[in-house]
Structure 1
């Protein structure tokens, strides 16, 4: 039996959730931010390399590469490597670290892969120009110029993504550039995008999108209640379904004020909803330990749902 509590809140740790988003929607990520590269990739022949393998690549350094994908590149008629590295905090030596990773990947895989593409995804709330180049030179001769691809989410205009049916665009909408006055509109557009995705994605992927988006949206009860009423009018058959994936709405309890006689039933419904979300996260690849930490339930209770 699940532990009873006034607030039920499902929130997945940022790094793991973001990594899982990239793993699950890699194609959508490339389509969204690097359309030219997208046209050159054959997604039917791709695989993520195991993280245990990546530990060896960085030698004695404690940090592991976040994601490394092997995929067929049409232009070379062979396989290449794509290294994805999310970065959420300011690091003046980040561009050097990217070069070190690239160098070691090149050293290890140069005979098997014709190309290595490093991509950094900057998720900081600050708007700044992130350094993406490492250069060395002497007068009249350039020794080295290394430049990786990058996405700076805060520099992206959120409005250019709202007509997209791209799952990554929806999940990261709240991380893009918008003003305080636009916050409510961004929230509403995200939920509208989510409802469109709901028609073609399974529940596990929808739960992943919602869990990532919920890391970035700052809840406003009055605002969300208003949006909820609008959604219920726009999607009368789907309003309850979206509530099942809205941690903050569940936490606030929109059934407040109803007869006390149904409180026990509501508690049971909340527990069942929580169990369903946990099952979806487990099925989608999150470890029992990660889910246990996120929902603050004993590991044994999580394993019962596997």
Structure 2
């Protein structure tokens, strides 16, 4: 099976984790309506990882197991399979079945299985697995949403207030512009402009800018031209949300790459800005983190800075290679 690169999964994983209610409202509205969103949701990463190891299921990066509270007070588990892949997988429905019954076997918890499929086929839609033998039967049926089903509704997606309308549009436009970099540049510019026109808080703007940017990769020359264009608009106050460090990161990371010999004063300034960005994202920094920043060179800071935009926790920033 040919899968898309892991760095394509990352923005989906982070977006659905941070904005899980919006994700459910967009793709699974009936399930969303049954959940009491006043109660906290808990992502059961340890349970899912252990299950996958025990069963050798080949867990996908974006699979999620989430504890939610339903209206009426019942606490239940939702198993969400987010398959960000380029081709159909013959054993997908069986894997959903296996996850489901192993959760029951290990934790004695009923679980709702949901699937979002990002392949390009409209006809492939596995939504059940089971068997019958000698009068006995076993079957799992589960809701499936295909991103390809939205292919003729891109313009509607761009007007949707739910941020996953933009995410879905970005996914579809990335597929539609494969091999046509100049059209992709134009579509990416349009999405970024629409994003910055939304009446959202700064954090949400940056998070979904990161998702779109990861998906819609461009050749270096067109990428530079796009962000130069955006910086011009930003100076005209059309796009006020990009922080000082993020602008510097665009300049260094996208245009020149890893530069040698950063001047000492510039490096100290970047350390201060990176510390401020980390504090804004994750809260007060431990002393050991400040020591790591003080001892880092420009190349290492650039690596951490890129990680800040997508990392779910402070420790995840510093796990980057």
Query: In structure 1, how many angstroms separate the alpha carbons of the residues matched to 2:18 and 2:111?
Result: 21
1:106–1:116: 8 Å Cα contact kept in structure 2? yes
Q: Distance in 2 between matches of 1:171 and 1:279?
A: 20
Matched, 1:21 2:20: no
Match of 2:211 in 1: 212
Please, what TM-score do these two structures have when normalized by structure 2? 0.65
Question: For residue 165 of structure 1, what is the aligned residue in structure 2?
Answer: 161
Larger proportion of helix: 2
Higher relative contact order (CA 8 A, sep 6+): 1
Q: Does 1:196 align with 2:216?
A: no
Q: Are residues 1:82 and 2:81 paired?
A: no
Q: 1:107 aligns with which of 105, 108, 112?
A: 105
Q: CA deviation at 1:187?
A: 1.6
Q: What is the distance in 2 between the residues matched to 1:207 and 1:230?
A: 14
Name the CA shift for 1:233/1:54 in 2 (closer, same or farther; >3 Å): closer
Question: Unpaired segments of 5 or more residues in structure 2?
Answer: 257-261, 275-301
Are residues 208 and 226 of structure 1, via their aligned partners in 2, closer, same or farther at CA, if it must alter by over 3 Å? closer
Aligned to 1:52: 46
The unaligned stretches of length 5 or more in structure 1 are 1-10, 255-262, 294-306
Structure 2 residue aligned with 1:94:
92
CA displacement 1:183-231 (0-9 Å, x = unmatched): 45532332123213574142xx544323332222031545873686478
Post-superposition offset of 1:16: 3.9
Find the aligned partners of 2:125 and 2:231 in 1 and give their Cα distance: 38
Aligned-partner Cα distance in 2 for 1:245–1:287: 22
1:153-207 CA-partner distances (Å, limit 9, x unpaired):
23323222111232333344321266338645532332123213574142xx544
Is the alpha carbon distance of 1:87 and 1:38 closer, same or farther for their aligned partners in structure 2, counting shifts above 3 Å?
same
The 1-side partners of 2:6 and 2:90 are apart by 28
Question: How many residue pairs align between the two structures?
Answer: 267
Among 14, 22, 30, the alignment partner of 1:36 is: 30
Compute the TM-score of the two structures, normalised by the length of structure 1: 0.68
Q: Deviations over 1:84-116 (max 9, x none)?
A: 122234421111011011112223444xx5x52
